[in-house]
Amino acid sequence: MAEGHALNCMRHMAHIAFIGLGVMGGPIAGHLAKAGHQLTVYNRSIGKAKSWAEVYGGAVAVSPAKAAEFADIVISCVGTDDDLAQIALGRDGVFRVMKPGGLFIDHTTVSARIARQLFVEGESLGLHCVDAPVSGGQAGAENGRLSIMCGGTEPAVDAAKIVMQAYAARIVHVGGAGAGQTTKMVNQICIGGVIQGLAEALRFAQAAELNLDKVFEAISGGAAQSWQMDNRWKTMTQDSFDFGFAVDWMRKDLGLALEEARANGATLPVTALIDQFYADVQAMSGSRQDTSALVRRITRA
């Protein structure tokens, strides 16, 4: 069976084509190389691919198709729906050269629509596709501690898990094709709301002239505690936003959630409002700042 072939490939060291070596993809590919897999990498900027190969070894390809030519598994981590469609379905896309039984794992945060499209296109070619967006940010990628939410068939996800465990702390199969992407939308909806609440709470504490370190000590061990509070409260008090997940990317992700909500009938009034708040931060030259820069639009008393 094709599924069994893919699974067997990954129980031994696999030949992996990795497409996209940005702040997330580069470290993920690095963990795969350290785990002993044979990698051929492609990046739109070939200089970045060559720099990666100088550190981790492996081969550098001049196109996605060339990277995937002899691969058992293709993993992508690019930017947008259009980027993903191009590297998968374009003239030099990986689907043109992947052999039946091959496994395609996508870590890009994109629409559920394109995830389902790739699943159908891949199925017609005998390929097994897993939409597997990640959470945990650059630090999670670098430390190999990502949370991965997967959509696809059970055999394909089980096969993908064997490879993904090199860089994940948690891997959950949440449903069929596109379910990984819709779960990532849930994740971003939650994060946006938490950051806005944290921003308002911080400005309230400042207006009340409270000791912010003591406030954090008092509330971070109770019901208000969150990852955002633990990791961003102090930096937000210092107006430090030059790290983490950029506002531009958060707006892209919230846009995907709002688009999906229009399709499935969900109501997201707070998410829509926070999306506009992030537009305000972009207008304040905060496009590349961390998402916690949301606090900037709330003036101090």
pLDDT by 10s per residue, the chain, length 301: 344 454 455 556 799 999 999 999 999 999 999 999 999 999 999 999 999 999 999 999 999 999 999 999 999 999 999 999 999 999 999 999 999 999 999 999 999 999 999 999 999 999 999 999 999 999 999 999 999 999 999 999 999 999 999 999 999 999 999 999 999 999 999 999 999 999 999 999 999 999 999 999 999 999 999 999 999 999 999 999 998 899 999 999 999 999 999 999 999 999 999 999 999 999 999 999 999 999 999 998 7
288's tokens: 């590349």
Residue 289: give the domain boundaries.
183-297
Whose CA is closest to 149, among 118, 178, 114, 191? 178
* Options 34, 161, 184, 234, the catalytic residue: 184
Same structural domain for residues 228 and 124? Answer: no
Same structural domain for residues 166 and 195? Answer: no
pTM of the model: 0.93
pLDDT of residue 107: 98
Separation CA 143–CA 38 (nearest Å):
21
Is 148 in a helix, a strand, or coil?
A: strand
Q: Which amino acid is at 36?
A: G
By CB atoms closer than 10 A (0-12, 13-18, 19+), residue 47 is exposed
CATH number for the domain that contains residue 171: 3.40.50.720
Domain count, the chain: 2
Same structural domain for residues 119 and 193? Answer: no
**CA separation, residue 23 to residues 29, 58, 114, 141, 275 (Å):** 11, 19, 23, 8, 23
Same structural domain for residues 248 and 224? Answer: yes
Same structural domain for residues 35 and 91? Answer: yes
pLDDT of residue 176: 98
| Cβ–Cβ < 8 Å for 252, 80 | yes
Same structural domain for residues 113 and 242? Answer: no
Same structural domain for residues 145 and 221? Answer: no
Same structural domain for residues 191 and 55? Answer: no
Separation CA 32–CA 41 (nearest Å):
11
**CA separation, residue 46 to residues 22, 51, 57, 270 (Å):** 12, 9, 15, 41
CATH number for the domain that contains residue 292: 1.10.1040.10
Same structural domain for residues 135 and 198? Answer: no
Same structural domain for residues 63 and 143? Answer: yes
Reported as half-sphere exposure (CB side, CA atoms, 13 A), residue 98 has a value of 31
pLDDT of residue 243: 86
Same structural domain for residues 162 and 114? Answer: yes
pLDDT of residue 12: 62
Q: Which of residues 161, 176, 191 is at a domain's end?
A: 176
Q: Which of residues 132, 147, 176 is at a domain's end?
A: 176
Maximum distance among all Cα pairs of the chain, rounded to whole angstroms: 67
Residue tagged 């030059």 (tokens): 242
Q: Which of residues 116, 145, 176 is at a domain's end?
A: 176
Is 255 in a helix, a strand, or coil?
A: helix
Same structural domain for residues 110 and 58? Answer: yes
pLDDT of residue 177: 98
| Cβ–Cβ < 8 Å for 253, 188 | yes
Catalytic residue at 184? yes
Residue tagged 């996209």 (tokens): 20
pLDDT of residue 2: 43
